[in-house]
Structure 1
Amino acid sequence: MKGVLLVNLGSPDSPTAKDVRPYLDEFLMDERVIDLPYWKRNLLVRGIILNTRPKKSAEAYQKIWWEEGSPLIIISERFTKKVADQVNIPVALGMRYGSGNIQEGLEKLMAQGVDEVLLVPLYPHYAMSSYETVVVKALEVQRSLFPDLKMTTMPAFYKNADYIKVLGNSIREGLADFEPDHILFSYHGIPERHIYKGDPTKFHCQLNKSCCTTNSVAHHSCYRHQCLATTDMVIEHMDLGENVSSSFQSRLGRDPWIKPYTDAEFERLAKSGVKKLAVITPAFVSDCLETLEEIAMEGKEQFEEAGGVEYKHVPCLNDNDDWAQLMAQWIKDWEAHNTLPV
């Protein structure tokens, strides 16, 4: 019997330094998140970051924590239920880091008689630190614990026409009572070296103005290209005009990350005369610490301190009914015809 495992990022069990610390340890020690040799990663994470970061991160989580628990977990659970209610095969939820992990999700499916799984990383774009690490971890668990389980992986869906339509309609709804001077699509940032590492040609990706618009096999694994493509397709779908741009948030460390940086864009846009700014965060399908605290709260402060007047963060797709219906349709297509979205 077929089944589906939806996988999202994960969350600490509570907004306390005690629970944030092991979550950050698992997350930052992932070689696809911080791609340094083990000894350097261990020294950086366990020798430096974990001595100060858990307390600061816990304070940030406390700002966005819901009464029911972690927003990302609650949203993911609501989405999973909506999807499961529309299909005829089992659907489970797993997290890449923290509680409710991928192994637990697969165990729930196998307990229902599932022997063939569709793995769905809940990331629209391919990046080694998000989509790829989910796939690698799931395959490791499958090969070591469930060798007879067949697994198929849903591809990154950043340019799927139906997904773009759902995303665009959600943005339109989020802007129903707000007329911005400018719309900023802010994506999760990654180090520039991740782009070069992911380039199978080893020469196409130059992080310039033309490489992401010049057709290449490198685009299948180029996060920057895929993010910019999503922005372009939403602009076309919504007929947004020219007052739209893209940027990248959440840097860590001193190495260069892909540009432009979102925090710098908040200041630049405000000083250029933008008074009303809307920010979209389509690297995530579910709101999380990064969108709810860094962008919705800190971003607002940064924009207003630089001279901006009105600021609106448009929520992620979350458990949007159309989004759940689209995922359910993708699952039905796979169940009946073994077809996946393109």
Structure 2
Amino acid sequence: MSKGVLLVNLGSPDSTNPKDVKKYLGEFLMDERVIDVPYWARTLLVKGIVLNTRPKKSAEAYQRIWWEEGSPLIVLSERLQEKIDDITSVPIALAMRYGTPNILSGLRELHEKGVDEVLLFPLYPQFAMATTETILVLAEELRKEHFPDMKFTTVPPFYNHPDYIRTLANSISEKLEGIDFQHLLFSYHGVPERHIRKSDITSSHCKIDGSCCKTASAAHQFCYRHQCFETTRLVAEYLELKENSYSVSFQSRLGFDPWLQPYTDRTIERFGKQGMKKLAIVTPAFVSDCLETLEEIAMEGKEIFHEVGGEEFTVVPCLNDRKDWVNVMARWIDEWAHQKPVEA
């Protein structure tokens, strides 16, 4: 069999035009694994309310972070793909779960190169319904419809893989070298609490309390909350961070249902009000910098911190196309291509 790899990231609007942003938001928010309510309710919420109010504001946010080459997330993903392609032994294609290039075009690109065994590589360290799962479900639907003879293998969540932990920790230490910060905040993308319970394969372990994520369970294989805390624990251990010098928060909540807490914006505000002057923040749920890291954290988060008396707000970039991260991914891919298991 001929092998190839499909890297899959979140996606982005084609431009900062509100019409393009509306199209992108429609595809994103109508995904049943993003807003997991009955179709009629999701349609009423998304098409009846959100798409009539949010595109203009979101377009303005994208305009604040847009690069001359295009969407930062797309540009950074393309750079990552190109660098991996240069040093691996199999073809590498790129796709986005929402927007373009889409997963179908990525699979078609590989198929046209004679590939019939694909390594699906979701660019998310932690598993979540709204990220990894939705990628895998759609890819399988497309495979059955368009490429029935194609075989899939999937890179498992790598939130605790020693290579990833080392690379993430090194990116943090390099950015913060010589910076006298008082606290390091690990901010992860938020999800509704019900997503955690829905992903619990034991149907009983996840209580979202102070102990379940620390208690061994088969549920952790698909528990986003546990995996976020575990990434943080391992990085803190690697960097020998002192207790109480770091913490975890969750950003980007939507709607009125309970989401994972504590919330990042309120945490930043609380730190400033408590007299903290120097805060550093890293966003390990993302491999590539995007709207949530460049605008919500680096801009809005900084504004919140300064408004409540904070002075220095340092944001650690995502791994993006760092050489050590490229080398790690390339090694994982080549190990798979030569029949060695890709394990986390």
- TM-score bucket of the superposed structures, by smaller chain: over 0.9
CA distance in 1, matches of 2:211, 2:328: 33
Shift of 1:174: 1.3
Aligned to 1:334: 336
Is 1:178 the counterpart of 2:179? The answer is: yes
CA contact 1:249–1:261 (8 Å) conserved in 2: yes
Counterpart selection for 2:271 from 257, 269, 272: 269
Shift of 1:132: 0.6
Long gaps (5+) in structure 1: none
Secondary structure of the structure 1 residue equivalent to 2:255: coil
1:68/1:177 CA distance change after superposition, 3 Å: farther
CA contact 1:168–1:234 (8 Å) conserved in 2: yes
Shift of 1:179: 2.0
The residue correspondences of 1:20-31 to structure 2 (distance < 5 A) are: 20-31=21-32
Secondary structure of the structure 2 residue equivalent to 1:89: coil
Kindly provide the CA deviation profile for residues 257-309 of structure 1, in whole angstroms up to 9, marking residues without a partner as x: 01000011001111222210000000000000000000000000111111211
Aligned to 1:320: 322
Kindly provide the CA deviation profile for residues 103-124 of structure 1, in whole angstroms up to 9, marking residues without a partner as x: 0001111111101000000000
CA contact 1:125–1:156 (8 Å) conserved in 2: yes
Secondary structure of the structure 1 residue equivalent to 2:188: strand
Aligned to 1:82: 83
CA distance in 2, matches of 1:133, 1:184: 28
The residue correspondences of 1:12-161 to structure 2 (distance < 5 A) are: 12-161=13-162
CA distance in 1, matches of 2:9, 2:260: 23
CA distance in 2, matches of 1:106, 1:173: 36
TM normalised by structure 1 equals 0.99
Counterpart selection for 2:281 from 274, 279, 282: 279
Secondary structure of the structure 2 residue equivalent to 1:317: coil
CA contact 1:20–1:58 (8 Å) conserved in 2: yes
Could you tell me which amino acid in structure 1 is paired with residue 265 of structure 2? D
Aligned to 1:230: 231
Aligned to 2:258: 256
CA distance in 1, matches of 2:151, 2:195: 30
Aligned-pair identity in percent equals 62
Long gaps (5+) in structure 2: none
CA distance in 2, matches of 1:206, 1:45: 29
Kindly provide the CA deviation profile for residues 235-264 of structure 1, in whole angstroms up to 9, marking residues without a partner as x: 000111121000000010000101000011
Q: Note the aligned Cα RMSD (angstroms).
A: 0.7
CA contact 1:266–1:306 (8 Å) conserved in 2: no
CA distance in 2, matches of 1:229, 1:68: 36
User: How many residue pairs end up in the alignment?
Assistant: 342
